[in-house]
């Protein structure tokens, strides 16, 4: 066993429901055996109870549960920064031309490495990933996540209209390729499968039926898609599905909504859509950097909370601006502040929860990951700014651990991630003199 000694923070319960949800140990201890936290508390108590265990001293930084990114696109790493256009133009101009390249297996493999290392070097240890339209590229992604050890829920993206011909499939192929990927990867190591129609705009009823058939056959797979992101998209979906009551209903009628369903964005929601999401116990993945970059709008967090809809956080790379969940937390905070009375005044506890435990709940993995309670996997990121950096001065002089956490969300970047563990295995360690690189498996 290893006894980690660190200043740590976590949110074992939901701060939107419990005012004292943020737990912190200024001189804490986490006793880890076979990748699992056995005991969690103050270092002095754990040391007294286990005097002979090896101590690993992580003091000098902040140890947080690994981030859980619940909406991120594997084939969009290289289009980060396509600014200045709204969603549908952004897809045509930036995302889809790049995604069409993933039929090339060498390109898919190179970007899979860029993608996985981008996530873990940002402190993300679990991700719900929009895969590629090409089954081979999804297979390549799973090989890379398995090699590195990233906890991954991912799937082949399926569509049969309004994108580009090379990205279109048929309901029959969507079913057969999805089934083969599920049989190969779902439940293998830390990989799980998510049935992933791109969005109702590009998915006929036939594609949604094929998705539903997969979910019926494999009831414990996940479901993810986009919804209600952009007003032009919402209007087009309304015209394409005249029998549906609204956007959410296109998925609901197909039988795709449930406890393991995560819908990204949900910026433009009717009251009925929010109650349908609450009824089906699904999650909204809020992607504030993407919503800002694409001018999609303000996420109605207050209405989600009032309706009892789960909310988690996603970077939405590459509509989003990078892999940092710290930046997403800050942007979520900014946008809620700008909403005035219609916004929610987010505190550091909310930001940490949204970036960690909320994602675990969205994926129904909260019994396993998301915080530092005993029984959870040791998925953790050590934030320790480089010597001489501004962030080091700020953290070293913070008046409290909670203030340090707020400062980390305000100014922390990938450069501040020093070490990352998944299931007790170190998957990233910053080189002090060279570019950050993942530790190979
Ligand atoms: O932010 C987004 N990124 C995408 O790639 C996409 N596809 C459909 N809808 C989308 N929204
Ligand atoms: Zn997206």
> What pLDDT digit, counting tens, does each position of 241-270 carry?
999 999 999 999 999 999 999 999 999 999
Q: Which atom of ligand 1 is nearest to the CA of 76?
A: 5
Q: Which parts of 112-271 are beta strand (E)?
A: 124-130, 151-155, 157-158, 191-197, 222-227, 261-265
Buried b (16+ CB within 10 A) or exposed e, 198-208: bbbbbbbbebb
Q: What is the DSSP letter of 347?
A: -
CA of 148 to the centre of ligand 2 (A): 23
> 333, 347, 302, 400: which is closest to 21 by C-alpha?
347
Of 128, 198, 236, 299, the one to substitute when testing ligand 1's pocket (max ligand atoms within 8 A of C-beta) is 198
- Residue 177 pLDDT > 60: yes
Write out the two tokens for 258. 């449930």
Neighbours of ion ligand 2 (CB under 5 A): 264, 316
- Find out whether the beta carbon of 290 lies less than 6 Å from any atom of ligand 1: yes
Do residues 356 and 64 make contact, with C-beta atoms less than 8 angstroms apart? yes
Write out the two tokens for 219. 């009831």
DSSP letters along 72-120, please?
Answer: EEGGGGGGTT--SS-HHHHIIIIIHHHHGGGGSHHHHHHHHHHHHHHHH
Placement of tokens 């993407």 in the chain: 290
> 146, 143, 262, 254: which is closest to 194 by C-alpha?
262
Residues 177-183 have a mean pLDDT of 99
For the whole model, what pTM was predicted?
A: 0.97
pLDDT of amino acid 440: 65
Sort 73 into a burial class: Cβ within 10 Å, 0-12 / 13-18 / 19+: buried
Do residues 368 and 360 make contact, with C-beta atoms less than 8 angstroms apart? yes
ipTM over 0.85: yes
Q: What sections of 257-367 are H helices per DSSP?
A: 271-280, 288-293, 301-307, 325-338, 348-355, 357-362
Percent of the chain with pLDDT over 90: 98
Of 81, 87, 290, the one to substitute when testing ligand 1's pocket (max ligand atoms within 8 A of C-beta) is 87
CA of 70 to the centre of ligand 2 (A): 10
Alpha-carbon torsion angle 403, 409, 411, 413, nearest 10: 140
pLDDT of amino acid 438: 66
The per-residue pLDDT for range 91-123, each reduced to its tens digit, is 999 999 999 999 999 999 999 999 999 999 999
Do residues 386 and 357 make contact, with C-beta atoms less than 8 angstroms apart? no
DSSP letters along 308-322, please?
Answer: T-EEEE---TTTSS-
φ and ψ of 88, to 5 deg? -70, -35
CA-nearest residue, atom 10 of ligand 1:
226
Percent of the chain with pLDDT over 70: 98
- Find out whether the beta carbon of 198 lies less than 6 Å from any atom of ligand 1: yes
pLDDT of amino acid 435: 47
- Residue 278 pLDDT > 80: yes
The ligand that comes nearest to the alpha carbon of residue 233 is: 1
- Residue 441 pLDDT > 70: no
CA of 72 to the centre of ligand 2 (A): 6
Q: Which atom of ligand 1 is nearest to the CA of 226?
A: 9
> 328, 404, 309, 343: which is closest to 22 by C-alpha?
404
Do residues 333 and 346 make contact, with C-beta atoms less than 8 angstroms apart? yes
pLDDT of amino acid 357: 98
Q: Tell me which of 1.10.10.10, 3.40.1440.10, 3.30.470.20, 2.30.40.10 is the CATH number of domain 2-65+371-429.
A: 2.30.40.10
Which CATH architecture is the domain 67-362 placed in?
Answer: Alpha-Beta Barrel (3.20)
Residues 45-59 have a mean pLDDT of 98
- Find out whether the beta carbon of 71 lies less than 6 Å from any atom of ligand 1: no
Going from the C-alpha of 150 to that of each of 330, 404, 422, the distances in angstroms are 24, 27, 7
Residues 43-62 have a mean pLDDT of 98
Buried b (16+ CB within 10 A) or exposed e, 11-25: bbbebbeeeebbbbb
- Find out whether the beta carbon of 95 lies less than 6 Å from any atom of ligand 1: yes
- Find out whether the beta carbon of 316 lies less than 6 Å from any atom of ligand 1: yes
The ligand that comes nearest to the alpha carbon of residue 71 is: 2
The ligand that comes nearest to the alpha carbon of residue 227 is: 1
The per-residue pLDDT for range 350-385, each reduced to its tens digit, is 999 999 999 999 999 999 999 999 999 999 999 999
Residues 164-193 have a mean pLDDT of 98
Contacts of 263 by beta carbon, 8 Å cutoff, 6+ apart:
224, 225, 226, 227, 248, 251, 277, 282, 283, 284, 285
Q: Which atom of ligand 1 is nearest to the CA of 201?
A: 8
Distance between CA atoms of 55 and 316, rounded to whole angstroms? Answer: 38
CA of 181 to the centre of ligand 2 (A): 21
> 152, 126, 71, 187: which is closest to 370 by C-alpha?
126
Each domain of the chain, given as residue ranges in start order, spans 2-65+371-429, 67-362
- Residue 219 pLDDT > 50: yes
pLDDT of amino acid 119: 98
pLDDT of amino acid 432: 82
- Find out whether the beta carbon of 383 lies less than 6 Å from any atom of ligand 1: no
């Amino acid at each position: 066993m290893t006894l980690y000694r660190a200043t740590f923070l976590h949110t074992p319960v939901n701060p939107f429901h419990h005012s004292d949800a943020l737990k912190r140990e200024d001189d804490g201890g986490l006793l880890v055996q076979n990748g699992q936290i056995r005991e969690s508390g103050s270092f002095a108590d754990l040391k007294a109870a286990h005097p002979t265990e090896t101590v690993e001293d992580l003091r000098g930084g902040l140890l947080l549960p690994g981030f859980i990114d619940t909406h991120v696109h594997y084939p969009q790493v290289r289009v980060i920064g396509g600014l200045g256009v709204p969603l549908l133009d952004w897809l045509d101009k930036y995302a889809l031309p790049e995604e069409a390249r993933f039929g090339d297996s060498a390109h898919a493999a190179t970007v899979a490495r860029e993608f996985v290392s981008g996530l873990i070097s940002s402190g993300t240890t679990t991700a719900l990933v929009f895969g590629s339209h090409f089954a081979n590229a999804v297979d390549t992604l799973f090989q890379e996540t398995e090699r590195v050890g990233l906890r991954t829920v991912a799937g082949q993206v399926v569509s049969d209209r309004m994108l580009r011909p090379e990205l279109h499939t048929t309901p029959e192929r969507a079913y057969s390729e999805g089934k083969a990927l599920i049989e190969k990867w779902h439940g293998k190591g830390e990989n799980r499968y998510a049935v992933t129609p791109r969005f109702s705009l590009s998915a006929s009823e036939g594609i949604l039926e094929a998705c539903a058939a997969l979910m019926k056959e494999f009831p414990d797979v996940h479901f993810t898609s986009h919804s209600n992101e952009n007003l032009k998209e919402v209007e087009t979906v309304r015209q394409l599905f005249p029998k549906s009551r609204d956007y959410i209903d296109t998925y609901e009628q197909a039988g795709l909504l449930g406890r393991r369903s995560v819908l990204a964005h949900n910026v433009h929601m009717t009251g009925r859509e929010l109650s349908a999401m609450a009824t089906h116990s699904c999650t909204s993945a809020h992607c504030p950097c993407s919503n800002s970059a694409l001018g999609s709008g303000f996420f109605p967090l207050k209405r989600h909370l009032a309706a009892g809809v789960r909310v988690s956080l996603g970077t939405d790379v590459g509509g989003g601006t990078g892999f940092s969940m710290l930046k997403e937390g800050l942007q979520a905070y900014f946008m809620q502040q700008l909403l005035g009375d219609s916004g929610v005044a987010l505190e550091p506890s909310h930001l940490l929860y949204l970036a960690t435990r909320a994602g675990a709940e969205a994926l129904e993995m909260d019994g396993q990951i998301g915080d530092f309670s005993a029984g959870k996997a040791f998925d953790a990121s050590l934030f320790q700014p480089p010597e001489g950096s501004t962030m080091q001065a700020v953290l070293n002089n913070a008046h409290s651990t909670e203030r340090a956490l707020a400062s980390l969300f305000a100014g922390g970047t990938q450069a501040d991630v020093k070490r990352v563990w998944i299931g007790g295995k170190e998957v990233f360690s910053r080189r002090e003199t060279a570019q950050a690189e993942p530790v190979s498996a």
